Chains A and B, each alone.
Chain A
């Protein structure tokens, strides 16, 4: 009898543990589906729910706060989505929050996003109808993306060739690396500015000159406007012609003189001829120069010896001191 009781206690513990695990399992799932506890129902209307199903998550600020309860047709172009959300959201979500349908990840389940918008508004109540935003159509998005992709591909291709060419040019890189260029450009532009100023000033002066020239003042005005000056110029030109003829004659005389000199050089006995052409004389001259050099060297030695000899040392020391 004693054993039977212990057995039954163990059996009871076994059954209760199993049942409590089952209850925990079911409760946790139910809690995730918002089946227990008080809930808030809010509504939103859409033209197209894009495969949203009851049970899909409802998010506010990225946090799951509830699930889609059911989806009903209001008329042929409007669907009403009922959402069951946590009761404590009553104090958080406002009536101007916007409801939109999104996707969890790129290819995940559909979710409903509730997005709060700035501005004052009352807090939501049960069975409120919130404004909705037209959902982003993935198909349309992908179509646009395809077009964009093609454009980007061609742009990138062109960019690639440009970059290649840029990379090949060494001059550009040198230019970019040289920091003094900036200063130079700055200076240049400064100079350009002052040059422009001077050009402006010059052009004003030129304008003045032209003005006065037109009126016959100054040398240029005289040149352009005075008829007497033209006659003088003509005489001047004639004189110039005469002078040129004289110069030509003088040139001929000079030519004659130089040919005489040439002749003298070619004859054998002249002094110049001897120096230029006679190799024996040249050798003699060389020897003489060498002898002179030797003589100078000998002389140098003698002078050094003299300096070092005790007879003259005192004299040289004194000389140095004077210096």
Chain B
């Protein structure tokens, strides 16, 4: 039983790697599906903005209000914008947004591609002369890879605004002072590694969703299963990539 599980895990890892390899080998080749890519960008990027904005806003507000009593205990209440800003930009913004994104987009890609697979639309597409991999997978993965960083930047901004409101619930800080305190504490080493890792998050979410959907089977039951496992796996992938990212930046001395 255990052997089987290990074997299955290794098989999945191998298949995912092969799928990723196929993505890169097909990516450069011409016949770009530009209009499908733009459509996916719209659905993935603009469609997720309200959700990301809401979670980001609440996260910033709540984080500020939760940290406030302890900052007062240590007598560093004035550093609240700096602490919250760094926490949001470095870690909470990217990871929370990526998880929400994985929940929304990972599942939708998994379910969409899965249902296309089990209803043999993908096979039909191949017969009709369209490259289904290029049309479905590459456009979606590129869209998630490029849209998630932008979503995270906007989410960070909304989150920081939420934090500003959170500070003003009990204190009184002008937006200008908040702004200068925030930028006094932020540095490139806070922003750049956090920004770069979001591309990897987006890529991982897109490629896992597509892989799970593209390899879906066993009928309609398989569609739900692939959607579910796409969300779970991409969420775990986000955390693993986050761990890798912090270790790499630490090694490079940017932390």
Query: With contacts A25-B89, A29-B183 known, what are 9 further pairs, Cβ within 8 A?
Result: A8-B38, A11-B42, A15-B150, A21-B154, A22-B153, A25-B186, A25-B191, A32-B183, A55-B187
Question: Which residue in A4, A15, A21, A29 is a CB contact (below 8 Å) of B186?
Answer: A29
Across the interface, do A14 and B45 meet the contact criterion of CB distance under 8 Å?
Answer: yes
CA distance A287 to B89 in the complex (A): 126
Task: Provide the A1-44 mask, 1 if CB < 8 A to any CB of B, else 0.
Answer: 00010011011001101110110011011111100000000000
Q: Chain A residues near B49 (CB, 8 Å)? A: 14
Across the interface, do B46 and A29 meet the contact criterion of CB distance under 8 Å?
Answer: no
Interface range, B side: 20 to 34
Pairs A-B, 3 closest by C-beta atoms: A18-B150, A7-B42, A11-B42
Q: Chain B residues near A55 (CB, 8 Å)? A: 187
Across the interface, do B154 and A8 meet the contact criterion of CB distance under 8 Å?
Answer: no
Known: A4-B39, A28-B183. A18 touches B153 (CB 8 A): yes
Across the interface, do A26 and B153 meet the contact criterion of CB distance under 8 Å?
Answer: no
- Interface residues in B138-158 by Cβ distance below 8 A to A read 149-151, 153-154, 156-157
Q: Chain A residues near B157 (CB, 8 Å)? A: 21
Question: Which residue in B42, B149, B156, B188 is a CB contact (below 8 Å) of A8?
Answer: B42
CA distance A7 to B187 in the complex (A): 35
CA distance A302 to B151 in the complex (A): 134
Across the interface, do A18 and B149 meet the contact criterion of CB distance under 8 Å?
Answer: yes
Task: Provide the B17-58 mask, 1 if CB < 8 A to any CB of A, else 0.
Answer: 000000000000000000100110110011001000000000
CA distance A258 to B202 in the complex (A): 144
Across the interface, do A25 and B153 meet the contact criterion of CB distance under 8 Å?
Answer: yes
Question: Which residue in A7, A14, A18, A21 is a CB contact (below 8 Å) of B39?
Answer: A7
CA distance A10 to B44 in the complex (A): 12
Asked whether B184 is an interface residue with its Cβ less than 8 Å from the other chain, the reply is: yes
Say how far B246's CB is from chain A's closest CB, in angstroms: 20
Ordered by A's residue number, 9 sampled pairs between the chains whose C-beta atoms are within 8 Å are A4-B39, A10-B42, A11-B45, A14-B45, A15-B150, A21-B157, A26-B188, A26-B191, A29-B183
Say how far A163's CB is from chain B's closest CB, in angstroms: 33
CA distance A22 to B184 in the complex (A): 17
CA distance A10 to B150 in the complex (A): 14
Q: Chain A residues near B186 (CB, 8 Å)? A: 25, 28-29, 32
Across the interface, do A17 and B154 meet the contact criterion of CB distance under 8 Å?
Answer: yes
Across the interface, do B183 and A14 meet the contact criterion of CB distance under 8 Å?
Answer: no
Closest to B192 in A: A26
Q: Chain B residues near A21 (CB, 8 Å)? A: 153-154, 156-157
Q: Chain A residues near B35 (CB, 8 Å)? A: 4
- Counting residue pairs across A and B whose Cβ atoms lie within 8 Å, the total is 61
| Chain B interface helix/strand/loop/mixed | helix
Say how far B38's CB is from chain A's closest CB, in angstroms: 6
CA distance A3 to B42 in the complex (A): 12
Say how far B46's CB is from chain A's closest CB, in angstroms: 5
Across the interface, do B42 and A29 meet the contact criterion of CB distance under 8 Å?
Answer: no
Say how far A65's CB is from chain B's closest CB, in angstroms: 14
CA distance A32 to B187 in the complex (A): 9
Q: Chain A residues near B154 (CB, 8 Å)? A: 14, 17-18, 21
Asked whether B199 is an interface residue with its Cβ less than 8 Å from the other chain, the reply is: no
Q: Chain A residues near B45 (CB, 8 Å)? A: 11, 14-15
Asked whether B135 is an interface residue with its Cβ less than 8 Å from the other chain, the reply is: no
Asked whether B133 is an interface residue with its Cβ less than 8 Å from the other chain, the reply is: no
Question: Which residue in A10, A25, A28 is a CB contact (below 8 Å) of B46?
Answer: A10
Say how far A215's CB is from chain B's closest CB, in angstroms: 93
Q: Chain A residues near B184 (CB, 8 Å)? A: 32
- Interface residues in B164-204 by Cβ distance below 8 A to A read 183-184, 186-188, 191, 195
CA distance A26 to B149 in the complex (A): 14
Task: Provide the B49-86 mask, 1 if CB < 8 A to any CB of A, else 0.
Answer: 10000000000000000000000000000000000000
CA distance A294 to B91 in the complex (A): 125
Across the interface, do B41 and A22 meet the contact criterion of CB distance under 8 Å?
Answer: no
Q: Chain B residues near A30 (CB, 8 Å)? A: 188
Say how far B50's CB is from chain A's closest CB, in angstroms: 11
Question: Which residue in B38, B39, B46, B187 is a CB contact (below 8 Å) of A33?
Answer: B187
Across the interface, do A29 and B150 meet the contact criterion of CB distance under 8 Å?
Answer: no
CA distance A21 to B150 in the complex (A): 9
CA distance A15 to B38 in the complex (A): 11
Across the interface, do B191 and A11 meet the contact criterion of CB distance under 8 Å?
Answer: no
CA distance A14 to B44 in the complex (A): 11
Closest to A55 in B: B187
Across the interface, do B39 and A29 meet the contact criterion of CB distance under 8 Å?
Answer: no
Q: Chain B residues near A31 (CB, 8 Å)? A: 183
CA distance A14 to B153 in the complex (A): 11
Closest to B146 in A: A15
CA distance A120 to B89 in the complex (A): 48
Q: Chain A residues near B156 (CB, 8 Å)? A: 21, 25
Q: Chain B residues near A10 (CB, 8 Å)? A: 42, 46
CA distance A29 to B183 in the complex (A): 6
Say how far B185's CB is from chain A's closest CB, in angstroms: 9
